[in-house]
Amino acid sequence: MNKAARGSLLGIEHLGAQDILGLLKLARRMNPLKPRPLLRGKRVLLLFYEASTRTRSSFEIAAKALGAMTTLVLSSGSSIEKGESLLDTGYTLRAVGADVIVIRHPQAGAAALMARYLEIPVINAGDGMHEHPSQALLDAYTIVRSKKTLKGLQVAIVGDIYHSRVARSAIHLLSKFGARITLCGPAEFLPETATSLASGLHITRTVEDAVHSADVIMTLRVQKERLAGTKISVQDYVSRYQMTMARLKLAKKDAMLMHPGPIIRGLELTWEVADCPQSAIVEEVRNGVPVRMAILAKALGRAR
SS3 98: coil
Contact pattern for another protein over residues 273 through 292, marking x by CB under 8 A: --------------------
Taking CB under 8 A as the criterion, the residue among 42, 56, 130, 221 binding another protein is 130
Cβ atoms < 10 Å from Cβ of 64: 16
Question: Which is nearest to 290 in space by CA: 47, 72, 16, 26?
Answer: 26
The distance of closest approach from Cβ of residue 65 to another protein in the complex, given in angstroms and rounded to an integer, is 31
Question: CB under 8 A: which stretch of 23-31, 32-40, 100-108, 231-239 binds another protein?
Answer: 100-108
Contacts of another protein in 133-162 (CB under 8 A): 162
CB nearer another protein, residue 69 or residue 129: 129
Which residue type does 79 have?
S
Burial of 54 (0-12, 13-18, 19+ CB in 10 A): middle
**Binding flag, residue 80, another protein (CB under 8 A):** no
The sign of the CA dihedral 221, 222, 225, 229 is positive
| Beta pairing class for 216-219 and 256-258 | parallel
| Interacting residue with another protein among 42, 168, 221, 259 (CB under 8 A) | 168
Q: Which of 20, 56, 124, 131 binds another protein (CB under 8 A)?
A: 131
Q: Does 76 bind another protein (CB under 8 A)?
A: no
In angstroms, the Cα distances linking 126 to 110, 111, 199, 242 are: 9, 8, 23, 25
Here's the x/- map for another protein, 180-219, by CB under 8 A: it reads as: -----------x-xx-xx----------------------
Nearest to 222 by CA among 159, 273, 167, 135: 159
How far, CA to CA in Å, does 180 sit from each of 40, 118, 141, 164, 203? 41, 38, 17, 19, 11
The 4-43 contact track toward another protein, x by CB under 8 A, reads ---------x------------------------------
Binding-site ranges for another protein (CB under 8 A): 1, 13, 85-87, 105, 107-110, 112-113, 117, 127-131, 162, 165, 168, 191, 193-194, 196-197
